[in-house]
Amino acid sequence: MDKVYLSIKNISKEFPAGEGLFRASKLRLKAVNNVSLDVYKGKTLGLVGESGCGKSTLGRCILRLTEPEKGEVIYNGIDLLRMDKNNFRKFRKKFQIIFQDPYSSLNPRMTVGDILTEIIKFHSEKSSADTRKKCFELLNVTGLTRNSINKYPHEFSGGQRQRIAIARALAVEPEFIVCDEPVSALDVSIQSQIINLLKELQSEFGLTYLFISHDLSVVKHISDYIAVMYLGKVTEYSDKNKLFENTYHPYTKSLLDAVPVPEPGFRRERIKLKGEIPNPVNPPGGCAFHTRCPVKISDCEKTFPEKYGDENHYAYCHLMKNL
Ligand code: SF4
């Protein structure tokens, strides 16, 4: 039985809708709507869904990069969201984030050595010699050469820059990393190299990941557990194998359509996703997926489905009522 590392309970986050003059309106965008999930120690929870489903906002809420209106993030019995900011800063070192675009998150005027030194010095009292040694260790574990230390971010490829971003996250010896679409901007061949690197680092340092992606085929390669989100809510959750063996939710089935099937001759039930994700400022009533769901029934527009399944694999869909 895996041990719970973080327990995310009933997180909700809204933003004012509209810009400029329209910002004064009372309309709110519910980016994350009452989401509860457990993250297990040393494991990867994959969070998947289309752009705008709230997955990145949820990752940012956990790290308090944005403050949710409601909910708890329980770590060792303590609610991190209720902790005062000074105390939270001490915990913050344990929690790091890697972004989709490493170029914009790396200072272009600093060498890799300076980038790593800055963060090591900020969080520790290492001597200059030990800091430099640590920089070389970080380059080594992330697959970068020693002479990278004197180069600037623009001198690297996209994949190498993501390695620098990973090295920077590792510099403070974190326990938990939110990987926010870390391979989405990379070529497919480079994507698998970065995923493999993240997996190696996880087993070497016992890291726990929240891995966010719009692409279920990417999430599949790294995750132990997967939560699927649609318009701010979790629609299905499972351990990875069960999700792919017996998919419950029509939305997950539509995302699976894009995942290559490894066995020749194997046919998967296919659901073609039509139309755009609805406006989250004014989400559809009932099951929010009903405007695109090809198998909806009359209840779907009227009532939000209950949770069906068990704690290891569940989904919110009226069709599961009769299973
Ligand atoms: Fe489709 Fe209805 Fe299930 Fe929603 S509840 S996924 S609309 S069948």
For residues 61 and 151, what is the distance between their CA atoms, to the nearest angstrom? 34
Q: Does the C-beta of 250 come closer than 6 Å to ligand 1?
A: yes
Q: Does the C-beta of 228 come closer than 6 Å to ligand 1?
A: no
Q: Does the C-beta of 209 come closer than 6 Å to ligand 1?
A: no
Q: Which residue, judged by its Cα, is nearest atom 4 of ligand 1?
A: 287
Ligand 1 atom at minimal distance to the Cα of residue 288: 4
Return phi, psi of residue 259, to 5°: -90, 125
Residue with tokens 């430099």: 132
Q: Does the C-beta of 253 come closer than 6 Å to ligand 1?
A: no
**Which long-range contacts (C-beta less than 8 Å, at least 24 apart) are formed by 265-268?**
none
Instruction: Characterise 45 by phi-psi region: left (phi > 0), alpha (psi -120 to 50), beta (else).
Output: beta
Q: Does the C-beta of 165 come closer than 6 Å to ligand 1?
A: no
pLDDT at 123: 86
Q: Which residue, judged by its Cα, is nearest atom 3 of ligand 1?
A: 317
Kindly state the tokens that stand for 100. 């989709």
Residue-by-residue pLDDT tens, the chain, 323 positions: 899 999 999 999 999 886 655 555 678 899 999 999 999 999 999 999 999 999 999 999 999 999 999 999 999 999 999 999 888 888 888 999 999 887 788 999 999 999 999 999 998 889 999 999 999 999 999 999 999 999 999 999 999 999 999 999 999 999 999 999 999 989 998 999 999 999 999 999 999 999 999 999 999 999 999 999 999 999 999 999 999 999 999 999 999 876 665 555 555 555 667 778 888 888 999 999 999 999 999 999 999 999 999 999 999 999 998 77
C-alpha distance from residue 251 to each of 23, 50, 79, 290, 293 (Å): 32, 10, 32, 10, 7
pLDDT at 41: 98
CB distance 223 to 211 below 8 Å: yes
CB distance 8 to 73 below 8 Å: yes
- pTM (two decimals): 0.92
pLDDT at 4: 97
Amino acid identity at 25: S
Ligand 1 atom at minimal distance to the Cα of residue 295: 8
HSE-CB at 183 with a 13 A cutoff on CA atoms is 21
Q: Does the C-beta of 8 come closer than 6 Å to ligand 1?
A: no
Residue with tokens 């993240």: 198
Kindly state the tokens that stand for 257. 């359509």
Domains of the chain, first to last: 4-94+175-189+202-259+269-322 (3.40.50.300), 108-173 (no CATH)
pLDDT at 17: 83
